[in-house]
Structure 1
Amino acid sequence: MSVQNGFLAVLTQGPAYGSQLQNEFLARAAHRRQLNAGQVYSTLDRMVDQGLIDPAGTTDDGLPLYALTADGESSARAWLTSGPTDAQPDWDEMQDQVLLAASIAGADAAAIVADYRTAYAERIRELTHDADSRALLAANRAAELGANAAIEWLDEVAAVLASHPEVLLQPRSPERPRRGRRPAGDAV
């Protein structure tokens, strides 16, 4: 879900085509190694089907552009202003959301960081009280250490946001990726 939400977040900066969204997402969520083209375009197709984005014309060289619908804008803004909806937050989702929000003007990265911090602190409380079974002890300890690492990282991000909030903001890159999916009827 974070790739879809990340694409919505990037689209708050204006229409873009598939490879452009892929590059922007990866530049902002630097912990990610890659997104394959199939994942990018299947996500875009799904977002169109869900009514989150619409075709928005083409680039000068014929690549299809996508833009947010009203529902897409609403979803993007919700994701860019509040933290996890799950009682057991996912590490990769957290990094995607925090880093993308920190890179986009108008997002509330500090609120997202605080929400994740609260969720992970609650997770630690649950884990330390749920150590009844010896079989669960090792798994609970691993989850507790992971939650502590998340809180440590979130505290570092919060410190950067508090002292230099502009350092993480990124306008859309002026570099255009050369490849992209052509509309279905175009010859290659």
Structure 2
Amino acid sequence: MSVQNGFLAILTQGAAYGSQLQNEFLTRAAHRRQLNAGQVYSTLDRMTDQGLIESAGTTEDGLPQYALTAAGAGAARVWLTTGPRATEPDWDEMQDQVLLAASIAGADAPAIVADYRAAFAERIRELTHDADSKALLVANRAAELGATAAIEWLDEVAAALGTHPEVLLRPRSPERPRRGRRPAADSA
């Protein structure tokens, strides 16, 4: 879901085409190594089917552009202002959401950081260390260490946002990615 939500967040800055969204997502969520074109366009097709985005015409060279619908704008606003909705927060989703929100003007990255921090702290409190099973004890310790690492990272992000929030903000890149979906050939 974070790719879809990330695309919605990026589209709050205006219409974009597929490889532009891919490039922006990877630049802002720098921990991601790749996002293949098939995933990009299947995600865009799914978002269109869900009524979150719509066609915004084409670029000068015929690449299809996408824009947010009212429903998509609402979903983006929620994702850019509140943290995890799951009882067990996900490390990758956290990084995507925090880094993208920190890069987009109007997002509430500090609130997202605080929500994730609270979720990971609650996760630590829920873990039991008096189980009968050694396997459960080992698994719980691993979960505790992961949650502790997440909290430490979130504290670093909170400090960066508190001292220099503008450092993480970035407008959409004026550089055009080299690839994109070409329009379908007319069958005449």
TM range (shorter): over 0.9
TM-score, normalized by length of structure 1?
Answer: 0.96
- Does the CA-based 8 Å contact 2:129-2:137 persist in structure 1? no
- Residue in structure 2 matched with residue 146 of structure 1 by the alignment: 146
Kept in 2, the 8 Å contact 1:7–1:21? The answer is yes
Shift in alpha-carbon separation, 1:148–1:131, aligned structure 2, 3 A: farther
Structure 1 residues 58-88: Cα deviation after superposition (integer angstroms, max 9, x where no partner): 0011100000000000000000000000010
Q: 2: distance between equivalents of 1:133 and 1:44? A: 45
Aligned: 1:40 with 2:65: no
The yes-or-no answer on 1:171 pairing with 2:171 is yes
Aligned with 1:88: secondary structure? coil
SS in 2 for 1:84: coil
Specify the alignment match of 1:137 in structure 2.
137
Deviations 1:156-180 (A, max 9, x none): 0000000001000010000001210
State the match for 2:62 in structure 1: 62
Residue 31 of structure 2: aligned partner: 31
CA contact (8 A) 1:131 1:140 kept: no
**2:87 aligned with 1:90, yes or no?**
no
Note the residue ranges of structure 1 that are not aligned, 5 or more in a row: none
Deviation at 1:132, TM superposition (A): 4.8
CA distance in 2, matches of 1:2, 1:32: 11
Q: TM-score of the superposition, structure 2-length normalised?
A: 0.96
Residue identity over aligned pairs, in percent, reads 84
Describe the superposition over 1:4-62 as per-residue Cα deviations: whole angstroms up to 9, x where unpaired. Answer: 00000000000000000000000000000000000000000000000000010000111
Residue 151 of structure 2 is aligned to residue 158 of structure 1: no
3-state DSSP of counterpart to 1:57? strand
Which stretches in structure 2 are left out of the alignment for 5+ residues?
none
In structure 1, C-alpha distance between the alignment counterparts of 2:88 and 2:53, rounded to whole Å: 29
Aligned equivalents of 2:129 and 2:118: distance in 1?
A: 17
Aligned length: 187
